[in-house]
Amino acid sequence: MNALIAIVGCGPAGSATALELLNLGVDPGDILMLDRATFPRPKLCGGGVTWRGTQTLIELLGAQPTGGSATQGLVLSCEHVGSLTIREPGPQWLYDRAHIDNLLLEACRARGIRILEATPLTDFHERVDGWELKAGHSTLRSRWLVGADGAGGSVRRLAGLSGGHTGRLVEAVYEPVGHEPDPDWLQFSFDPLLENIRGYGWIFPYPLPDGQMYWKLGIMDGVGKTPGKALRDWTARFAQRSGFRMLDDRIHGWPERYFSRHARAHRPGLILVGESWGIDALLGEGIAPSLAMGRYGARRLREVLDNGRFVIGDYEKRFLFTEEGWNLYFHEFLAQRLYGQGSLRWLNVLLNSPRLRDLGATGRAAYGRLARNWRPMLAALGGHVLRHGLPLPDLPDSAHAPA
């Protein structure tokens, strides 16, 4: 089986790449998508789509997908430190990943793209005219190869492309006990920093397509150094004190690759998109960045299809000059503050700056577009530091995170 473009990975990044290629005039018969899974497939994820991602979904699918729910914004907090509320300019959506990923893939199928499910990529070799892929029991050939197969995917590894670091996450499905949580807000708890875990915990509404509402609780280790058992134990304690009872048989874990401006995402005839390249390093948001990166990859790929070139000039560098690229770069900068040395000092500034609180309440500071406000944000952070320094918050003796 031959194709002009083979896309490995049928999640949001792969589907966005394919749909954008169609919108740019590429014939559906020239595109082949493959994935090791059979869709719809279960997928561990908080399922949040921040405001800028909702607009992208509408553009790709033509309307808001059904089967989800909406929230108003984010609440960042840490016990003994403070809290910050960010009201989004528009609704954030939440979906079961099995549902939304399948909707995107079915949109590709409906437009005539060939899709091979239950077909894992095991190897590929460079040819004069492109690539030879070993996938499942088949040998495929393509001129271009797109890696959209996630944090632990094979395309990056086999291509020898360096990437950003990988974090760890664990998560399970819960129901509230004796209380009704507010489903209008995504809750981000930075309490893990008090226990020297460089990341945050979350409480997200979890809507099923049939209308049933549960909740997802978990923790992200943003530097990938905390053992999985410690993360699962923290999640269990967090759920208990927050008033939730676990419905899953266990707390599941998975890796997450974060964006780095130093990562390589292109070699002749091959590009990476989505989490294979790297997603939001600050809060681990994956769906919206993956959609945007897929569309960027498709546009850059379309530029070279007509002239027969196998090299896309400044693929990684030019991405940094897009709104999504600049935003991911800015979030990388913020993540280095919050999850690096002096993490609690920077968190104290972030959660207690009056100017940042005012900015978050305006409804103009979309989380996925914080880079639009980088000047006022840095001015607020810098002004707070100049006035108050970088003191540690007033913590109890039980908090043992380093300064």
105-151: per-residue pLDDT in tens?
Answer: 999 999 999 999 999 999 999 999 999 999 988 899 999 999 999 99
Global confidence as pTM: 0.93
Give me the half-sphere count of Cα atoms (radius 13 Å) on the Cβ side of residue 183. 16
> In the numeric block, which tokens belong to residue 315?
């693929």
Pairing assessment for the beta strands 244-246 and 166-176 based on DSSP bridges: antiparallel
Give me the half-sphere count of Cα atoms (radius 13 Å) on the Cβ side of residue 252. 13
> In the numeric block, which tokens belong to residue 133?
């892929």
CA 135/CA 156 separation, integer angstroms:
16
Q: What is the pLDDT of residue 10?
A: 98
Domains of the chain in start order, with CATH, are 2-43+98-164+258-327 (3.50.50.60), 69-95+165-257 (3.30.9.40)
Q: What is the pLDDT of residue 371?
A: 65
pLDDT per residue as tens digits for the range 363-399:
777 776 666 766 777 776 777 676 767 777 877 766 6
Residues 6+ apart with CB under 8 A from 285: 48, 50, 279, 367, 368
Question: Which of 351, 308, 72, 12 lies closest to 200 in space, CA to CA?
Answer: 351
Name, of 32-41, 46-55, 91-100, 177-186, the range with top average pLDDT.
32-41
CA 171/CA 337 separation, integer angstroms:
25
pLDDT band at 332 (very low <50, low <70, confident <90, very high): very high
CA 137/CA 122 separation, integer angstroms:
10
Beta bridge partners of 189: 77, 201
Helix (H) / strand (E) containing 112: none
Mean pLDDT over all residues of the chain? 91
Q: What is the pLDDT of residue 354?
A: 84
Q: What are phi and psi of 310, to 5 degrees?
A: -115, 5
CA 360/CA 238 separation, integer angstroms:
26
Q: What is the pLDDT of residue 376?
A: 72
Stretch among 84-93, 110-119, 157-166, 314-323 having the lowest mean pLDDT = 84-93
CA 390/CA 353 separation, integer angstroms:
12
